[in-house]
Structure 1
Amino acid sequence: MNKQKEIDLDPILLEVGQFGRYQLKNYCLILVPIMFSAIYNSQYIFAAANVPYRCKVPECEADPPKFETNGWGPWALPDGRGRCERFVPLGTTCAADSFHPTDSKLCSSWVYESHDTIVSTFDLACEEWKRTLVGTLHSAGIFLALPLTAYISDNFGRRVAFILTSIAPAAVGLGRSFSQDYVTYCVLEFLDAVVGAGVYSSGFILALEMMGLNKRVLGGNIISCTFAAGQAMVALAAWAIPEWRTLTRVLYVPSFLFVLYFFLIEESVRWLLSKGRKKEAADIIFKAATVNKRKLSPETIKILTDDTPATPDLAKLEADPDKKEDSLVLQVLKSRVMVSRLFICSFWWITVTFIYYGLSINSVSLAGNSYVNYILTALIEIPGYCISVLTLDRFGRKSSIMTAFFICGVSLVCLPFIPVSLSWLQTCMNLLGKLCISMAFSSIYIYTSELYPTTLRHSLVAVCSMAGRIGQVVAPQTPLLMAYMESLPYLLFGIMAGGSGLLMLLTPETLNMRLPDTVRQAEGISTAPRTQHTTDIIVD
């Protein structure tokens, strides 16, 4: 039998419209849960924020106790603050001679300046590790979330994975707002990440796969800008509603509305074709063409209405039922190109998450309002995303991302050598590093997606993203390195950025290349001739 020809979706998308009204509607719907995912990814920073506290001194406290000591602090509390220790009482009054001048003891209870965060609610004074553990558990949840979401996405559909991960956090977050103890809060924080952290990757791929070749970069970076805006929004919400229980309910309850997406969003055409569900894919294409007011050519209509199998693998099995194809995972493991590409991409992801979150954590040194500082740290990402839009399609993926890594590395290596008197320059170099790593972060998502085949794209991108969580988990520990060498965190950031830039030399350029649908096509990118137009060299 003759081999059936595989459907090439990219030319069809040119006829349908690369970013018409149909894609625009779906794209805008996808942006809303992604914005909420940014909120849920960073809400714990404010819910578990540190709160000023001091030891409770029964001999001197008002009724009810107030955080201000009103003059008795110097003789009752070490250094006048006494966060974890108080001077040993010698009497029952609050007089200066009723406390030992040098001997102190550990506190058993505390007075908090406010009750807006879980630190005061669960009485976490002098247990800093419990407060920071919340963020670590959230990152650990992402390790489980990414492969779980990828499995659902690749086996049951991008749409199913996206909608489920959009709705599930609402129930978990609402339940967490009623937590009565620290352990329950931590368990639900972990589950929040498990059920909801995959919404970004599933939404990104769902949007990318129905978008035309020339619109991928713009579309991907609008998603990244939306995520940055979501981070700024959570800071604004926390500023307006500082009490963590109320804040959590206000942020999470709206996600219940995403159940309506089952009636509003359709499945990825690329995924349907990869699964041999040609009729469903054709129906969506015809609908998109109608909404976009575009007319399909007779050849395209014939291809879509033909009853032949949609994928080459199905055609091969029909032609020779006794011949068994290697599993997709085995095909990847047997491919030296794909395995090396997977390791390189994983290192990129570890680097960008390590630097991205490390710089955010160290940005607390910026003077001023903590909410404003966080908003600035989030919004500085948007110029980076805009620059990537301007450069990725003009100069190519490799050169753009490599330049971002190198500039980031140079700025962070130089930062420790800037005199303290030039604090404004230190701040500028820190923000320049954050801008460049943000550009690399958004670009890596696009570039990585283009290196892998449709049949395993979400799974392999999820492997890289999951590896990147290592950087996210380790980043909170970088301030500890300053005890050994004050400049060590920034030197480490810079070296990793430079190393990632050099690794870009080992991967192929994907500018103007069609998204590969099979492992063989993905391998073929490396040897593809370069042109200024979409190439058609990826063949089976």
Structure 2
Amino acid sequence: MSQKEVLNLDSVLLELGQFGRYQIRTYCFILVPILFSAIYNAQYIFAAADLDYRCKVPECESSPPQFETDVWGSWALPDGAGQCERYVPISSTCSADSFHPTDKKRCTSWVYQNEDTIVATFDLACEEWKRTLVGTLHSVGIFFALPLTAYISDSFGRRVAFILTAVAPAVVGLARSFSTSYIMYIILETLEAIVGSGVYSSGFILALEMVGINRRVLGGNIISCTFAVGQAILALVAWGIPEWRTLTRVLYAPSFIFLLYYFVIEESVRWLLSKGRKAEAAKIIFKAAAVNKKKLSPETIRQLTDETVQVEELNSTSAAEGKKESVFWQVIKSKVLVSRLFICSFWWITVTFIYYGLSINSVSLGGNRYVNYILTALVEIPGYGLSVLTLDRFGRKGSIMTAFFVCSVSLFGLPFIPSDYQWLQTSLNLLGKLCISMAFSSIYIYTSELYPTSVRHSMVAMCSMAGRVGQVIAPQTPLLMNYMASLPYLIFGVMAAIAGLLMLLTPETLHIQLPDTVKQAEAIAVAPRTKKRTDIIVD
């Protein structure tokens, strides 16, 4: 079949308008669940936040017990505010000579400053590992969510996966707000992550596959900025509603409205074409053209309406790829694509490890924790803006590599700044977060451009799943400070430098159309470098 007979969706998108009214409307719908996904991804930071507490001293407590110990704390509690130990009582009275001056014993009950988090609700005092386990299990849930969502997305459609993962958190999240025990809480926390964490990746793919080549970066970074805004909104709502049960209900109840998306969100045209459902794809393309007020060329209309042309194209593609083999096994057999998979996986581990590691260490700074978290979230937006400005101008490789190296240098330098220059330490920390945020959003786009349509979501999900390793480990980085105060930042810097060097082993994808077949994906590595490389088609 001649080249003219091949239906090229990227060319059709040029005729439709790369980011016209239809795409903008679709984006507006997709951005709302993604904003909520940011909220759900981090809500445990406030629901399971640490609380001030002290040992309960029955001999001296008022009724009801008050957190402040006033005078008697100086002789009943070590340092006047013991959390896990108290002085051994000698008598049942409350006086200075009623307690042993040096002997201590383990506390068995506690008084909490407030009842806002699960630490008080489930009596988790002096069991820090139980509190931090909540975040770890949430990350484990994401690990399982990504391949599950990818399977649904590649098998049953992007829209199906997106709507399911947008609505499911509402059910599980509300159930969690009624938890009667710590075990029930962490089980539901993990389950909610499994059924709902795929909304970001499914929404990202659904949105990206309808955007033209020259608007992928803009579209991807709009999504990333929305995620950052969602994190800031979470902190604002938690600031106003600190009690975790009420907060959880307020955050999760709105997601039931996403059931209506069944009537307003349409399937990815690229996915429909990859499944041979040309009639459905053509209907959506004609609708998009009408909404964007664009007129399709007669040749494009003919290709969309002529069943013979479409069937011959699909058959020729199948023959070229090996009809008896699944595309997934073709990817596994491809040394080029497998090497990309390992490299991409390391990138994802690096960006998630540094991204979440810096966030965790940042919120421990002095001051209002809600304000600190808001600043930590909003500093990502300039990083995403730099991604928009650089990826299409300087290329994917150069931009991402620079972000990794600047992040590495800033984090390497941070431990050597004297404590008197706290403003400079904060600036370097924020610079590192800005650069890793830029790399994070860019890696999403770059990874999706390296793999063929039929397994694109699966490959992105596999890399993202590997990245969850970094997210699971990140909460443990503060423990490294017990051995060396600067050790976490030195590890962050080394990993960022290695990730930057690995960019030398992958191809540039600037202005290249999304590959639909394994051969097209492999051809990116050997395609001649031109100013506009938008014509790579493998027959």
Shift of 1:316: 4.2
Query: In the TM superposition, what whole-angstrom CA distance separates every residue of 1:439-469 from its partner, at most 9, and x where no partner exists?
Result: 0000000000001110100000000000000
**Alignment check: 8 A CA contact 2:396 2:442 kept:** yes
Within-5 A mapping of 1:412-423: 412-423=411-422
Which residue matches 1:8?
8
Shift of 1:318: 9.0
**Alignment check: 8 A CA contact 2:355 2:437 kept:** yes
Which residue matches 1:105?
105
Which residue matches 2:479?
480
In 2: Cα distance, 1:534 partner to 1:405 partner: 26
Shift of 1:317: 9.0
Within-5 A mapping of 1:164-313: 164-308=164-308, 310=310
In 2: Cα distance, 1:221 partner to 1:130 partner: 36
**Alignment check: 8 A CA contact 1:87 1:105 kept:** yes
**1:539 and 2:523 are equivalent in the alignment:** no
Which residue matches 2:48?
48
Which residue matches 2:17?
17
**Alignment check: 8 A CA contact 1:276 1:309 kept:** no
**Alignment check: 8 A CA contact 1:138 1:190 kept:** yes
In 1: Cα distance, 2:336 partner to 2:423 partner: 46
Which residue matches 1:338?
337
Opposite residue 426 of structure 1, the aligned amino acid is Q
Opposite residue 488 of structure 2, the aligned amino acid is P
Task: Give secondary structure in 2 for the equivalent of 1:37.
Answer: helix
In 2: Cα distance, 1:470 partner to 1:456 partner: 22
TM-score of the two chains, using structure 2 as the length reference: 0.98
Any stretches of 5+ residues in structure 2 without a counterpart?
none
**Alignment check: 8 A CA contact 1:512 1:533 kept:** yes
Q: Which moved more, 1:13-22 or 1:106-115?
A: 13-22
Task: Give secondary structure in 2 for the equivalent of 1:304.
Answer: helix
Within-5 A mapping of 1:110-129: 110-129=110-129
In 2: Cα distance, 1:229 partner to 1:365 partner: 21
Taking a change above 3 Å as real, the CA distance of residues 414 and 250 of structure 1, as seen in their structure-2 partners, is same
Shift of 1:79: 1.2
In 2: Cα distance, 1:535 partner to 1:365 partner: 47
In 1: Cα distance, 2:116 partner to 2:36 partner: 22
Task: Give secondary structure in 2 for the equivalent of 1:104.
Answer: strand
**Alignment check: 8 A CA contact 2:152 2:161 kept:** yes
Opposite residue 198 of structure 2, the aligned amino acid is G
Shift of 1:491: 0.5
**Alignment check: 8 A CA contact 1:55 1:85 kept:** yes
Task: Give secondary structure in 1 for the equivalent of 2:70.
Answer: coil
Shift of 1:330: 1.1
Opposite residue 264 of structure 1, the aligned amino acid is V
In 2: Cα distance, 1:311 partner to 1:84 partner: 72
Shift of 1:537: 2.4
Which residue matches 1:361?
360
The number of residues matched between the two structures is 538
Query: In the TM superposition, what whole-angstrom CA distance separates every residue of 1:313-344 from its partner, at most 9, and x where no partner exists?
Result: 84149989xx8432111101110000000000
Taking a change above 3 Å as real, the CA distance of residues 50 and 365 of structure 1, as seen in their structure-2 partners, is closer
Which residue matches 2:27?
27
Taking a change above 3 Å as real, the CA distance of residues 460 and 310 of structure 1, as seen in their structure-2 partners, is farther
**Alignment check: 8 A CA contact 2:271 2:453 kept:** yes
Shift of 1:116: 0.3
Shift of 1:309: 6.1
Opposite residue 480 of structure 2, the aligned amino acid is L
Taking a change above 3 Å as real, the CA distance of residues 480 and 319 of structure 1, as seen in their structure-2 partners, is closer
**Alignment check: 8 A CA contact 2:5 2:303 kept:** no
**Alignment check: 8 A CA contact 1:450 1:510 kept:** yes
Taking a change above 3 Å as real, the CA distance of residues 362 and 166 of structure 1, as seen in their structure-2 partners, is same
Shift of 1:528: 1.2
Shift of 1:382: 0.3
In 1: Cα distance, 2:43 partner to 2:166 partner: 16
CA RMSD of aligned residues (A): 1.6
Opposite residue 504 of structure 1, the aligned amino acid is M
Shift of 1:485: 1.4
In 2: Cα distance, 1:420 partner to 1:164 partner: 49
Shift of 1:308: 2.7
In 1: Cα distance, 2:129 partner to 2:509 partner: 44
Taking a change above 3 Å as real, the CA distance of residues 71 and 162 of structure 1, as seen in their structure-2 partners, is same
Within-5 A mapping of 1:400-411: 400-411=399-410
**Alignment check: 8 A CA contact 2:54 2:81 kept:** yes
In 1: Cα distance, 2:313 partner to 2:494 partner: 44
**Alignment check: 8 A CA contact 2:7 2:300 kept:** no
Task: Give secondary structure in 2 for the equivalent of 1:526.
Answer: coil
Q: Which moved more, 1:300-309 or 1:140-149?
A: 300-309
Shift of 1:312: 7.0
Query: In the TM superposition, what whole-angstrom CA distance separates every residue of 1:287-308 from its partner, at most 9, and x where no partner exists?
Result: 0001111111100100100103
Which residue matches 2:155?
155
Runs of 4+ in 1 over 6 A off after TM superposition: 1-4, 317-320
Task: Give secondary structure in 2 for the equivalent of 1:527.
Answer: coil
Shift of 1:53: 0.3
In 1: Cα distance, 2:84 partner to 2:370 partner: 27
Which residue matches 2:58?
58
Shift of 1:539: 1.5
Which residue matches 1:525?
524
Taking a change above 3 Å as real, the CA distance of residues 15 and 318 of structure 1, as seen in their structure-2 partners, is closer
**Alignment check: 8 A CA contact 1:3 1:312 kept:** no
Shift of 1:533: 2.2
Shift of 1:535: 2.1
**Alignment check: 8 A CA contact 1:412 1:433 kept:** yes
**Alignment check: 8 A CA contact 2:56 2:110 kept:** yes
Shift of 1:311: 6.9
Taking a change above 3 Å as real, the CA distance of residues 504 and 171 of structure 1, as seen in their structure-2 partners, is same
**Alignment check: 8 A CA contact 1:273 1:311 kept:** no
Q: Which moved more, 1:477-486 or 1:53-62?
A: 477-486
Opposite residue 226 of structure 2, the aligned amino acid is T
Query: In the TM superposition, what whole-angstrom CA distance separates every residue of 1:264-299 from its partner, at most 9, and x where no partner exists?
Result: 000000000000000000000000001111111100
Task: Give secondary structure in 1 for the equivalent of 2:94.
Answer: coil
In 1: Cα distance, 2:172 partner to 2:38 partner: 16
Which residue matches 1:508?
507
Task: Give secondary structure in 2 for the equivalent of 1:347.
Answer: helix
TM-score of the two chains, using structure 1 as the length reference: 0.98
Task: Give secondary structure in 1 for the equivalent of 2:421.
Answer: helix
In 1: Cα distance, 2:528 partner to 2:325 partner: 28
Which residue matches 1:399?
398
Which residue matches 2:380?
381
Taking a change above 3 Å as real, the CA distance of residues 309 and 197 of structure 1, as seen in their structure-2 partners, is farther
Opposite residue 509 of structure 1, the aligned amino acid is E
Taking a change above 3 Å as real, the CA distance of residues 386 and 310 of structure 1, as seen in their structure-2 partners, is same
Q: Percent of counterpart pairs with the same letter?
A: 75
In 2: Cα distance, 1:317 partner to 1:33 partner: 35
**Alignment check: 8 A CA contact 2:76 2:87 kept:** yes
Taking a change above 3 Å as real, the CA distance of residues 201 and 185 of structure 1, as seen in their structure-2 partners, is same
